[in-house]
Amino acid sequence: MSFATNQPIRRDQAKVMNRFDITRRMVARLHHDEAVIGGIGYTNFDLWAAGRRPQNFYMLGSMGLAAPIALGVALAQPQRKVIALEGDGSILMQLGSLATIAARRQKNLAVVIMDNGTYQITGGQLTSTELGADVVAIARGAGIGQSAWAADESAFEELIDLALREDGPWLIGCRIDREKPADTTERDPPRIRDQFMRGLGVTK
């Protein structure tokens, strides 16, 4: 798929996929120790369930920090590709980070939004994406020109490959269902931090 020539689709045209399934598909395409930051909510639970990698960081605690943390990692290690996985509720709390990522023209960074239209982990309250907000359009408006909804699973894989191969920043919107995550992230923040720092080669 050529990103430039492919017709962009709207949120309501995108297939509703499964978060664990697409997370697994994404992880299977990582071959160069790419860093992956899983946002709070069920996003990092399914990243955890998709198999532990020392280059994964699981955000526990505050919403909206996957993209800013990923930006920090991308700035510190420009040779490494970095992917932020974030829920729709969480990115809505931190929209300014999209403008910062765009302004930095952060080549080695991709943000994947898992949009289930709810704050699922806290009981399924509806978010604004279910009421008309389109995070891909917002990202484009923030200046991330390479922003697209994944039409389906194979389009998602193509977008991930493109983001891993070519300069970003990228933003990939994924509509997902409200299935429970496949596992629960171990709540041990110091261990998560230490393993991630080792995984990035920052400490031994």
Ligand X SMILES: Cc1ncc(C[n+]2csc(CCOP(=O)(O)OP(=O)(O)O)c2C)c(N)n1
Chain contacts with ligand X (rule: CB under 6 A): 40-43, 62-63, 87-90, 116, 118-122, 127
Six token digits for residue 34: 């790419």
For ligand X, the nearest residue by Cβ is 87
* Rounded-to-integer distance, Cα 95 and Cα 139, Å: 8
Which amino acid does the sequence have at 80? R
Tally: H helices and E strands in the chain: 8, 8
Beta carbon nearer to ligand X, 14 or 40: 40
Complex with ligand X: residue 119 or 156, whichever CB lies closer: 119
Question: Closest approach of Cβ 71 to ligand X, in Å?
Answer: 18
Q: Closest approach of Cβ 147 to ligand X, in Å?
A: 18
Task: Name which of 41 and 169 has its Cβ closer to ligand X.
Answer: 41
| Spacing of C-alpha 97 from chain mean position | 13
Residue 204 Cβ vs ligand X, minimum distance, rounded to whole Å: 32
Cβ atoms of 160 and 172 within 8 Å: the answer is yes
